[in-house]
A and B are shown apart, each in its own frame.
Chain A
Amino acid sequence: MQWELETTGLTKRYGRLVANDAVDLRVAAGEVHAVMGENGAGKSTLMSMLYGLTRPDEGAILLRGQQVRLASSLDAIARGLGMVHQAFKLFEDLTVWENVVYGAEPRRFGFLDRRSACTRVQELAQRHHLAVDVRARVRDLSVGIRQRVEILKALYRDARILILDEPTAVLTPQERDGLFAIIRALRADGRTILFVTHKLHEVMELTDSVTVLRQGRVSARMRTAETDADAIIRAMTGRSVNLSVARSPATPGAEILRVEALRVPAPVRGAKPLVDDISLSLRAGEIVGIAGVAGNGQSELIEAITGLRAAEGRIHLNGQEISGRSVAARRAAGMAYVPEDRALTGTAAGARATEALLMGRQHDPAFARHGVQDGAAIAAHARDLIQAHDIRITSERTRVGTLSGGNLQKVVLARELDFDAPLLIAEQPTRGVDVGAIEAIHARLVAERDRGHGVLLVSAELSEILGLSDRILVIYEGRLIAELPGAEATEQHLGLLMAGRTQEVAR
Chain B
Amino acid sequence: MHRLALLRPHPVLMAILTGLVFGALLLLLSGQNPLRAYAEMVRGALAPRNWNNTLVWAVPMIGMTLVAALPLRGGMVNLGGDGQLVIGGFVAAMAAIYLPLPGPLLAAVAILSAMLAAGLYAALAALGQTVLGIPMLISSLLLSYPAIGLTSWAAGFPLRDTATGLAQTLPVPEAARLPMLFGPVSTGVVLMALVAAVVVWADRRSVPGYELRMRGLNARFARYGGVPTARQTVTVMFLSGALAGLTGAIIVLGTHYRFINGALVSPGYTWSGLMAALLAGGEPLMAIAAGFFFAALQTGGFAMQREIQVPRVLSMVLQAIIILFVSLRNGRGAARKEDRS
List chain A positions with a Cβ less than 8 A from chain B: 14, 17, 19, 39-40, 42-45, 48, 54, 306, 308, 326-328, 331, 337, 339, 344-351, 355, 358-360, 362-363, 368, 371-373, 375, 397, 404-405, 432
Would you call B330 an interface residue if the criterion is a C-beta within 8 Å of the partner chain's C-beta atoms? no
With a cutoff of 8 Å between Cβ atoms, the chain B residues found around residue A54 in the complex are 338
With a cutoff of 8 Å between Cβ atoms, the chain A residues found around residue B210 in the complex are 355, 358, 362, 373
Known: A19-B340, A373-B205; 6 extra A-B contacts, CB below 8 A, are: A42-B340, A44-B341, A327-B225, A346-B221, A348-B221, A373-B210
With a cutoff of 8 Å between Cβ atoms, the chain A residues found around residue B162 in the complex are none
Q: A327-B224, A327-B226 given as contacts; is B206 within 8 A of A350 (CB)?
A: no
Would you call B218 an interface residue if the criterion is a C-beta within 8 Å of the partner chain's C-beta atoms? yes
* Residue among B207, B222, B225 with max Cβ neighbours from chain A (10 Å): B225
Contact of B223 among A327, A351, A404, A405 (CB under 8 A): A327
Would you call A328 and B228 a contact (CB within 8 A)?
yes
With a cutoff of 8 Å between Cβ atoms, the chain B residues found around residue A17 in the complex are 340
Would you call B220 an interface residue if the criterion is a C-beta within 8 Å of the partner chain's C-beta atoms? yes
Would you call B220 and A372 a contact (CB within 8 A)?
no
B residues 208-249 near A (Cβ < 8 Å) are 208, 210-211, 213-214, 217-218, 220-228
Contact of B218 among A326, A331, A349, A358 (CB under 8 A): A349
Would you call B207 and A348 a contact (CB within 8 A)?
no
The CA-CA distance from A355 to B227 in the complex, in Å, is: 14
Q: List 8 A-B contacts (CB under 8 A).
A: A45-B338, A326-B226, A327-B226, A328-B228, A346-B221, A347-B221, A350-B218, A368-B207
* Residue among B218, B224, B338 with max Cβ neighbours from chain A (10 Å): B224
The CA-CA distance from A43 to B341 in the complex, in Å, is: 7
With a cutoff of 8 Å between Cβ atoms, the chain B residues found around residue A14 in the complex are 338, 340
Would you call B224 and A372 a contact (CB within 8 A)?
no
Would you call A372 and B341 a contact (CB within 8 A)?
no
Q: Secondary structure at chain B's binding surface: helix, strand, loop or mixed?
A: helix
Identity of the chain B residue whose Cβ is nearest the Cβ of A368 in the assembled complex = B207
With a cutoff of 8 Å between Cβ atoms, the chain A residues found around residue B339 in the complex are 44
The CA-CA distance from A331 to B213 in the complex, in Å, is: 21
Contact of B225 among A40, A360, A371 (CB under 8 A): A360
The CA-CA distance from A347 to B211 in the complex, in Å, is: 13
Would you call A363 and B223 a contact (CB within 8 A)?
no
* Residue among A39, A43, A54, A348 with max Cβ neighbours from chain B (10 Å): A348
Min distance, Cβ B197 to any Cβ of chain A, angstroms = 15
With a cutoff of 8 Å between Cβ atoms, the chain B residues found around residue A39 in the complex are 341
With a cutoff of 8 Å between Cβ atoms, the chain A residues found around residue B207 in the complex are 362-363, 368, 371-373
Contact of A371 among B208, B213, B340, B341 (CB under 8 A): B208
The CA-CA distance from A97 to B307 in the complex, in Å, is: 69
Min distance, Cβ B76 to any Cβ of chain A, angstroms = 16
The CA-CA distance from A327 to B208 in the complex, in Å, is: 17
With a cutoff of 8 Å between Cβ atoms, the chain B residues found around residue A368 in the complex are 207
With a cutoff of 8 Å between Cβ atoms, the chain A residues found around residue B224 in the complex are 306, 308, 327, 337, 339, 345-346, 359
Min distance, Cβ B86 to any Cβ of chain A, angstroms = 32
